[in-house]
Amino acid sequence: MLKRRNENDVFLKPECGLPRAAQRTLQKRIIGGRTANFAEYPWQAHIRIAEFQCGGVLVSHNIVATAAHCIQQARLPDISVFLGELDTQNLGHIHEPLPVEKHKVVQKIVHPRFQFRMTQPDRFDVALLKLAIPTGFSDHILPICLPQFPITLIGRKGLIAGWGKTEASMGHTGTNMLQVATVPIITTFDCIRWHESKRINVELYSEMFCAGHSDGHQDACLGDSGGPLIIKERGRFILVGITSAGFGCGVDHQPGIYHNIQMTAKWIQEMIVRHA
């Protein structure tokens, strides 16, 4: 007899990918995005590495995924992970009803096939940070779902979020408020063609994909490296990309380049189990 699969069977964690806070519809135009609501993206992590910052995403009680290039050279004592964050400077302009959690990191797990490349997007640009003390999930701190089944990305709109620059001209400073934006996922062919039109040679591999508007009006930017690109599937948010690289920022025909989590989800899952 055919047993109907419970929706939760598809997702390993029943609480993953489901914000408890009320969702506001995404408005148009983290360059050209909008400020997130409190607890709207409860899996978003803010990673501070000495004087640098990167994004990250909570995938289990004690594991945060980010870009390998963010943390590869970092010393463990220099890495802090903030969960449940909205305003990184706590200026008090916005009500944050629940406190942020600051976590120390006891281990960094870089993907075995990660390869730093000076002038091109890094290969397998994904790494995991193991928190010293696991977080207990709460209204503003929840994990994202990992893809458990093949998802066609081309033509889908991805959600990106981070504390990077909101204007291309901001220099190295980011924004203190979490920003969110939507970006369409484009074909590798279009990505290469767009870059060629700007006289940029880009080498892309199967573990990468590109996303961005042809006019560049919404884009992940400096400081958003390591942050998640998520899509909604079967009523839940699923992690499909990690912000990896981009030539320029919020520039027309220069889309962001993302690590494709579908290529490494199995490895991430194995690491979660091993380090639980």
Catalytic residues: 69, 125, 225
Q: E-strand spans in 61-207?
A: 63-66, 79-83, 101-110, 127-131, 157-162, 179-186
The distance in angstroms from the start CA to the end CA of the chain is: 35
Q: Which residues of 113-126 are buried (b: 16+ CB within 10 A; e: fewer)?
A: ebeeeeebbbbbbb
Residues shown for the chain: 276
The two three-digit tokens of residue 203, written as one number: 């080498």
Integer Cα distance of 85 and 101 in angstroms? 8
Beta bridge partners of 115: 123
Structure tokens at 246: 């981009």
Smallest Cα–Cα separation from 108: which of 79, 135, 142? 79
